[in-house]
Amino acid sequence: MGAVRRTARQHGCVIDAQLDALARLAGEGAVVALSGAGLSTESGIPDYRGPSGVARRHTPMTYQTFVGDPLARRRYWARSHLGWRQIARAEPNVGHRAVAALEASGVLDGIVTQNVDGLHQAGGARSVIELHGNLDRIVCLACGEGTPRDRHDDRLRVANPGFDAEILAVNPDGDVDLDDSALDGFLPVDCTTCLGGVLKPDVVFFGEAVPVDRVRDSYALVEGARLLLVLGSSLTVMSGRRFVLRAAKLGIPVAIVNQGETRGDAYADLRVDAPLGVVLPQLAARITALPVASSR
């Protein structure tokens, strides 16, 4: 037992030292955050690959399948209809609020998020680039008309009265796992503007390209940074990792806070392996006592 306590204390000392180093780096200002699903786990939204990730029972929906297979699209909307309720009920956690506090203090210039849950904004952040979109918007693939998700949800409820299947698991991208038998008879709805256009959440599906303007704006934000701070991302996919590679190429320091290894660790000047709900509030508290540089 004594050895366990000593190990815990030693681990705590290591984290404190890393936090002090991170506070010194970030306290100079001009920080850009790149956030991933790990930041939202404490809000009840599981991540893809981290400690709280859930094993998927189905293959993630691809853009090609969604637009080309009406049956697959119906199944997606049934799962997403119930999954949206889980996302809509989620509240920003202390990590989101700490990030917003860093922005409000002038330390953080902006956030590039891979998340589609809108929790950064709900937590008070203002300068957010939603790289993969947001689940609270619906777009018609035929005419481009946008619709708020709550209005679309109302239409699905009317078209499917009493639909309330048992949820087997919640997925990070806003859908859920259901028994196949529960999907029978579910009716998706089409666009009411162009009368029949296929509706899709305004998020980037697997196999779909991130809009060019978002990538351009994200690169510009990162290239103007003094520090790139990665929060809760395994950096497994190139969509987020490319910004770490660009920062490293330009000599911009990279700090990573994530539970578990990431594919960007080789480029990190500082690495903190600890829960974001612990690290970020402490980081914000440390930085408030540090002067913020006015320019790079």
152 flagged as catalytic? no
Which residue among 81, 96, 132, 152 is the active-site one? Answer: 132
Q: Give phi and psi for 289, each to the nearest 5.
A: -95, 0
Radius of gyration of the chain (CA): 21
Q: Is 13 annotated among the ligand-binding residues?
A: no
User: CA 293 to CA 296: how far, in whole Å?
Assistant: 7
What does the alpha-carbon distance between residue 34 and residue 115 come to, in Å, rounded to a whole number? 10
36 SS3 class: coil
Per DSSP (E only), the strands in 143-198 are: 146-148, 169-170, 176-177
Q: To which residue do tokens 């035929």 refer?
A: 142
- Alpha-carbon distance of 36 to 113, in angstroms, equals 6
Number of CB atoms found within 10 A of residue 294's CB = 8
Cα 30-35-41 angle, rounded to 5 deg = 140
Residues catalogued as catalytic: 132
Q: Which residues are annotated as a binding site?
A: 140, 143, 191, 194
Q: Which residues are annotated as a binding site for Zn(2+)?
A: 140, 143, 191, 194
